[in-house]
Amino acid sequence: MNRGRKISGGKYHKFRKTRKLERSSQERRIVIGELKRKTIRTLGGHKKTFVLKSNIANVLEKGKIKKTEIVNVEETPQNKFLARQNRLVKGAIISTSLGKARITNRPSQEGHINAVLLEK
């Protein structure tokens, strides 16, 4: 009931505003589609590129990396509803033209998708 109030009833006042780097950003939903990337400015003037849509994955097969097309998201260990929405997240099992593969990187933090081919 007395949220944001002192015991005496007075208000707490912020000593400064929220900085731009402290503000939360919009959730990044990476789905299957034609390749689409976005670049944002980060702290120190650096740039971060991440994927918004992609239908290509770099798949590791027998020690060699091949670019393959993503067909569908089979399952997602974190949440089964993400697989239904074809969301690409780390650990998701995807079906590619080479076979089933597991995503090993975080597409929401990097500008590409890496995966490892699962044994049949």
Rounded distance, CA 26 to CA 23, Å?
10
Amino acid at 100: K
Could you tell me if residue 13 is inside a domain? no
**Rounded percentage of the chain residues whose pLDDT exceeds 90:** 69
Supply the DSSP string of 49-94, one letter for each residue.
EEEEEESEEEEEETTEEEEEEEEEEEE-SS-HHHHHTTB--TT-EE
CATH of residue 112's domain is 3.10.290.70
pTM above the 0.75 mark?
Answer: yes
Q: Backbone phi, then psi, for 102, in 5-degree steps?
A: -110, 130
15 part of a folded domain: no
Residue 17 is assigned to a structural domain of this protein: no
**47 has which bridge partners?**
41
Task: Please give the average per-residue pLDDT across 46-73, as a whole number.
Answer: 94
The answer to the question of residue 53 being in a domain is: yes
pLDDT tier at 1, thresholds 50, 70, 90: low
Identify the band that residue 57 occupies on the pLDDT scale cut at 50, 70 and 90: very high
Looking at residues 63-92, what average pLDDT do you find? 94
**Has residue 66 got a pLDDT over 60?**
yes
Domain that holds residue 96: 25-117
pLDDT band, very low/low/confident/very high, at 35 (cuts 50, 70, 90): very high
Overall number of domains in the chain: 1
16 within domain boundaries: no
Residue 71 neighbours by CB distance under 10 Å: 13
Mean pLDDT of 34-54: 92
Q: Is 102 helix (H, G, I), strand (E, B) or coil?
A: strand
Eight-state DSSP code of residue 107: T
